[in-house]
Amino acid sequence: MENSLVKLKQKSKLAIDSCDFFLLSNHEVTDATTNPSLILKVLIQSRYRQYVQEIKASNLTLPREQLIRLIIVNFGKEILKRIPGRVSTEVSPQVAYSVKKTVEEAYRIRETYLSLGENLERVLIKIPATYEGIKAASELEKNGVRCNMTLIFSEVQSLACADAGAAVISPFIGRVGDWYKMRGRSWDLVEEDPGVRFVRKLKFTLANYGNTEIMGASFRNIDQIIALAGLDLLTISPELLDDLKGVNKSLDLSWLEDNHTAVKNKNSNALDRKNFEKLLASDVMATDKLVEGIKLFQEDSQKFERMILSDDLR
């Protein structure tokens, strides 16, 4: 009998939200991701600490910034050995509000992958969807650099990313719901979950942007995942992937046939700064979660750098 994970794989491409590349043999996923927050989670394991120590020992004279990038990209390289699809590698969140620095960091990441012999067609550059990040993605995409836009919480971010030609956008389902729960909102049915509703609507809002895939992210439970079966991509933690193997729930794809109206005009002008900032500011949840998300990414990035440079990982 097919479990829910098997059924999902028939309807959506699956990605793993983890840098634990030794686990990948246990999960038949297509894509994966890497960033300092996820690497931090696996560095508690001695085998990963040893892996980082070996990279450091082989690059003793490398400047700090290059060493950090090399370690992150090496995680991506190991992931690519174990999946058939793409890996998303994130620019430093410290440059989230700079177009120039984001573009430069993106090219440095690609150069590092090239130095390790990797195929750049399998590498997505992951960029926070600030106004500056989206402008950077627009420039990068025009030059053939495929981007995965993260920390998506609003329609205006999504439209701006699609206008920019982004390969993938990653709306954060769980964090949307978290915001509403913190303000006393509750719901009985997963279809009423604000994060699920947001992404379901987004599927139709971006119906005319055939080159931009939507990858649901930040899931809190398997019901949210199952409710979005049929989405282009779903990135799922190892824990929830295991949970999906243990259940046999039916998939209801009727939401894909609902009578939503697709956006007719692709010229949304969402990349105009004044328009973008006005629309984003009108969405308190999206504004809050974007600022909070970047702050958390920056804090994890700093923790990651301190750990990498500490005596424990010499």
**Active site positions, annotated:** 126
Q: Could you write out the DSSP letters of every residue in 145-210?
A: --EEEEEE-SHHHHHHHHHTT-SEEEEBHHHHHHHHHHTT---SSGGG-HHHHHHHHHHHHTTT-T
CA–CA dist 240, 263 (Å, integer): 33
Q: Among candidates 307, 297, 268, which has minimal Cα distance to 97?
A: 297
Instruction: Assign 235 to helix, strand or coil.
Output: strand
Token look-up 């920019």 returns 164
What is the rounded distance in angstroms from the CA atom of residue 277 to the CA atom of residue 134?
A: 12
> What's the longest Cα–Cα distance across the chain?
60
Residues 6+ apart with CB under 8 A from 231: 12, 199, 203, 214, 215, 216
Please list, residue by residue across 284-312, b when 16 or more beta carbons sit within 10 angstroms of its beta carbon and e when fewer do: ebbeebbeebbeebbebbeebbebbeeee
What is the separation, in whole angstroms, between the first and last Cα of the chain? 49
- Give the CA angle between residues 273, 275, 280 to the nearest 5°: 95
d(CA 64, CA 295): 22
Q: What is the CA radius of gyration of the chain?
A: 19
Rounded to whole angstroms, what are the CA distances from 75 to 17, 177, 244?
A: 13, 30, 26
